[in-house]
């Protein structure tokens, strides 16, 4: 009984340190940790899937956020339009999203949800078109590495959830081997995602150019050939 309480207290204290002291009290000296860089080979097939999904997501998120009010808009709901169904159960996507998603032992579950999102994007194709370029950045999320302290969720206005997971309609590609989720962040939403990345204890959110810089030119080349 005592161990969980001690862990909870330590997590809260560390979160307060990162949120109020490390970032706020010393903003000029605050530099988030640099994520470990990945260097690896990508197959043409994987690049084609990634690039195709990326173009879809750029177009779909542009459509969903076209009239978004930056000051008063609902960051929690803007990119959570796709409903979840798993083993016949429908989950509400704007309430406790990752309680049903963040299962490190079952990446196949997340792959399934991504496939649902891809299907819905195609079904909604009358309202938008895939884009070959858009203002924004690709983020990388480590699927099974969260302390659920809530700091990132709070500072991002619930754009990311309690597990620091980005909203489903921004998902691009999942690497089931490395447990990495690649997601799109339209320019308007970069500040809240950056804030989330800066305060998360587990540091499980970063940008593609920091995590896997060699992938960027490969993706751009793949987009030109789609």
Q: What is the DSSP string of 78-128?
A: TT--SPEEETTEEE-TTSSGGGGT--TT-HHHHHHHHHHHHHHHHHTGGG-
Helix (H) or strand (E) holding 141: strand 136-142
CA distance 93 to 79: 10
Half-sphere exposure of 123 (CA within 13 A, CB side): 7
Per-residue pLDDT, averaged over 85-98, amounts to 59
pLDDT value for 13: 54
Distance CA 161, CA 131 (A): 27
Which of 104-113, 144-153, 170-179 is predicted least confidently? 104-113
pLDDT for 173 beyond 90: yes
pTM confidence score: 0.81
Indicate whether 21 pLDDT > 50: no
pLDDT band at 163 (very low <50, low <70, confident <90, very high): confident
200 CB contacts (<8 Å, ≥6 apart)?
146, 149, 151, 152, 164
Domain spans, the chain: 32-224
Six-digit token string for 225: 């050939």
């Amino acid at each position: 009984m005592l161990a969980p309480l001690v862990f909870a207290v330590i997590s809260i204290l560390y979160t307060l340190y990162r949120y109020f002291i490390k970032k706020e009290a010393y903003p000029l000296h605050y530099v988030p940790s640099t994520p470990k860089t990945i260097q690896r080979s990508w197959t043409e097939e994987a690049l084609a899937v990634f690039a195709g999904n990326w173009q879809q997501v750029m177009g779909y998120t542009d459509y969903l956020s076209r009239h978004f009010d930056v000051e008063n808009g609902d960051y929690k709901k803007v990119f959570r339009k796709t409903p979840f169904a798993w083993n016949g159960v429908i989950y509400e996507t704007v309430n406790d999203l990752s309680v049903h998603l963040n299962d490190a032992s079952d990446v196949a579950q997340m792959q399934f949800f991504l496939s649902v999102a891809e299907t819905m994007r195609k079904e909604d194709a009358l309202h938008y078109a895939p884009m070959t370029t858009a203002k924004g950045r690709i983020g990388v999320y480590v699927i099974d590495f969260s302390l659920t302290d809530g700091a990132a969720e709070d500072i991002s206005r619930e754009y990311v959830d309690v597990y620091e997971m980005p909203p489903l309609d921004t998902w691009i590609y999942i690497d089931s081997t490395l447990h990495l989720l690649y997601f799109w962040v339209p320019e308007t939403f970069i500040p809240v995602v950056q804030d989330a990345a800066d305060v998360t204890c587990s540091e499980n959110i970063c940008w593609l150019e920091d995590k896997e810089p060699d992938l960027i030119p490969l993706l751009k080349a793949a987009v030109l050939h789609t």
